[in-house]
């Protein structure tokens, strides 16, 4: 530590060179952090838009095969990060005379319309207006009608425990795509028919506008009973990922280029510093300073500049991201995400990562010049 005043004093004397190195790291980290923050905020909002268009929930609470108590639904509705929720009972029903099982969803029609409208059943007969609330009515997708050879108005014998229950095909599911056999019933009728009174299989959720799926993942699990997990709908996640792949790759490349530019500027500043300080290093070597000690202190200089630049860089990066999102939106004015309002979130892990990148940039920029300085002959 006796050499600390020497090297810190050298940084103070070389104010412009030290400031240039610091600004280089701040610029690289800030640009990378800003691009990454915009990336995360825009993709979260774009994913929500895709799920909305597809009629999918943002997240869902899934319980064990036996289900969980339906009183959890009332607790979920009071959570501040949840805007809408709908309860669902899932049953793999055995149809009499058919081997493949049919997935039956017991739904609450009134809440389903606000969370997953693509699952809404439809009756083509005006006299069947209230069929969605009837306990003996069932609605089949086109694939299910074709697979089991039934159509609207036909009876559908279903095995419910030790007894056979006859349901009536009251309509179809226009929002469910081809090739997906699925059936919808009123949740009360499904619970009664299949012995699931007081039980739910899952709860589909829509996240509040002032929150995000990541925020809900952090706040909700602590209040959940054992066996109930929070997860994302697979179909919506895959569709969102496919649509945004090119956008994610472009933003990741921009962040990488920004960081590489910052590291190169640090290297240039450190290399120029070594050239200007040759006589200083030669004098220190003549006083008995070992090569390895000189290398360590020069690396410490680079690490100090890199750490300070990383901290200031992430702060500036968040500021730039906030201004860009406010002024231009998540697509930087391209118009792809028009109408969406991305929410910028502080991410501790990502922040620490970029601070470490600033530190590594300082070390990398000082490594080669430090070795060159250590080769200077004592004089």
Q: What's the whole-number mean pLDDT along residues 16-20?
A: 71
Angle at 235 between CA 230 and CA 240, to 5 degrees: 95
Least confident of 130-134, 208-212, 237-241: 237-241
- Name the CA radius of gyration of the chain, rounded: 31
Q: For residues 339 and 53, is the Cβ–Cβ distance under 8 A?
A: no
pLDDT band at 46 (very low <50, low <70, confident <90, very high): low
28 pLDDT above the threshold of 60: yes
Buried b (16+ CB within 10 A) or exposed e, 84-113: bbbbbbbbebbbeeeeeebebbbbbeebbe
Specify the pTM: 0.55
Q: For residues 111 and 87, is the Cβ–Cβ distance under 8 A?
A: yes
250 pLDDT above the threshold of 70: yes
Give helix then strand counts, H and E, for the chain.
Answer: 12, 11
Q: At what angle do helices 15-54 and 4-13 cross, to 10 degrees?
A: 80
Q: Which two tokens stand for residue 12?
A: 């103070």
Q: Give per-residue pLDDT as tens, 105-131.
A: 999 988 888 888 878 888 866 656 677
The predicted pLDDT at position 66 comes to 85
Task: Name the average pLDDT for the chain.
Answer: 77
**pLDDT > 70: percent of the chain:** 75
Beta-sheet strands, E only, within the chain = 59-62, 68-69, 82-95, 101-107, 137-140, 155-160, 163-172, 183-186, 199-200, 202-207, 229-231
Q: In DSSP terms, which residues pair with 60 in a beta bridge?
A: 204, 231
Spatial neighbors of 102 by CB under 8 A, at least 6 apart, are 92, 93, 94, 95, 144, 148, 158, 181, 182, 183
236 pLDDT above the threshold of 50: no
Residue 333 CB coordination number (10 Å): 11
The predicted pLDDT at position 54 comes to 44
Q: For residues 67 and 87, is the Cβ–Cβ distance under 8 A?
A: no
The predicted pLDDT at position 200 comes to 92
240 pLDDT above the threshold of 80: no
The predicted pLDDT at position 43 comes to 64
The predicted pLDDT at position 237 comes to 47
53 pLDDT above the threshold of 60: no
Domain residues of the chain, as ranges?
4-51+244-374, 57-232
Q: What's the whole-number mean pLDDT along residues 254-268?
A: 70
Q: Which two tokens stand for residue 65?
A: 């095969």
Least confident of 51-55, 282-286, 318-322, 349-353: 51-55
Q: In DSSP terms, which residues pair with 103 in a beta bridge?
A: 92
d(CA 88, CA 186): 10
The predicted pLDDT at position 350 comes to 83
């Amino acid at each position: 530590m006796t050499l600390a005043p020497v090297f810190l004093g050298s940084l103070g004397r070389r104010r412009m060179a030290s400031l240039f190195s610091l600004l280089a790291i701040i610029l690289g980290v800030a640009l990378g952090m800003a691009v990454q923050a915009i990336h995360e905020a825009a993709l979260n909002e774009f994913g929500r838009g895709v799920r909305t268009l597809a009629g999918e929930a943002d997240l869902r609470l899934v319980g064990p095969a036996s289900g969980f108590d339906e009183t959890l639904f009332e607790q979920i509705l009071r959570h501040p990060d949840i805007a809408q929720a709908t309860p669902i009972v899932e049953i793999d029903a055995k149809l009499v005379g058919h081997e493949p099982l049919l997935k039956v969803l017991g739904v609450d029609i009134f809440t389903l319309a606000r969370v997953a409208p693509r699952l809404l059943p439809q009756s083509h007969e005006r006299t069947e207006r209230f069929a969605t609330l009837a306990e003996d009515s069932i609605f089949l997708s086109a694939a299910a009608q074709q697979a089991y050879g039934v159509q609207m108005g036909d009876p559908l014998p279903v095995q419910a425990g030790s007894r056979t229950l006859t349901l009536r095909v009251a309509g179809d599911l226009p929002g469910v795509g081809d090739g997906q056999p699925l059936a919808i019933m009123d949740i009360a009728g499904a619970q009664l028919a299949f012995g699931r009174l007081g039980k739910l299989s899952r709860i589909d959720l829509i996240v509040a506008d002032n929150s995000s799926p990541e925020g809900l993942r952090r706040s909700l699990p602590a209040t959940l009973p054992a066996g109930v997990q929070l997860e994302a709908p697979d179909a919506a996640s895959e569709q969102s990922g496919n649509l945004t792949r090119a956008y994610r790759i472009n933003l990741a490349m921009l962040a990488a280029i920004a960081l590489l530019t910052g590291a190169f500027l640090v290297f240039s500043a450190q290399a120029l510093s070594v050239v200007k300080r040759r006589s200083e290093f030669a004098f220190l070597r003549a006083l008995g300073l070992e090569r390895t000690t000189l290398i360590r202190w020069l690396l410490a200089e680079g690490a100090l500049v890199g750490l300070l630049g990383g901290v200031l860089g992430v702060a500036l990066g968040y500021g730039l991201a906030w201004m860009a999102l406010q002024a231009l939106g998540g697509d930087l004015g391209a118009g792809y995400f028009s109408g969406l309002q991305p929410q910028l979130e502080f991410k501790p892990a990502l922040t620490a990562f970029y601070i470490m990148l600033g530190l590594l940039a300082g070390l990398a920029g000082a490594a080669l010049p430090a070795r060159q300085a250590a080769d200077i002959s004592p004089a």
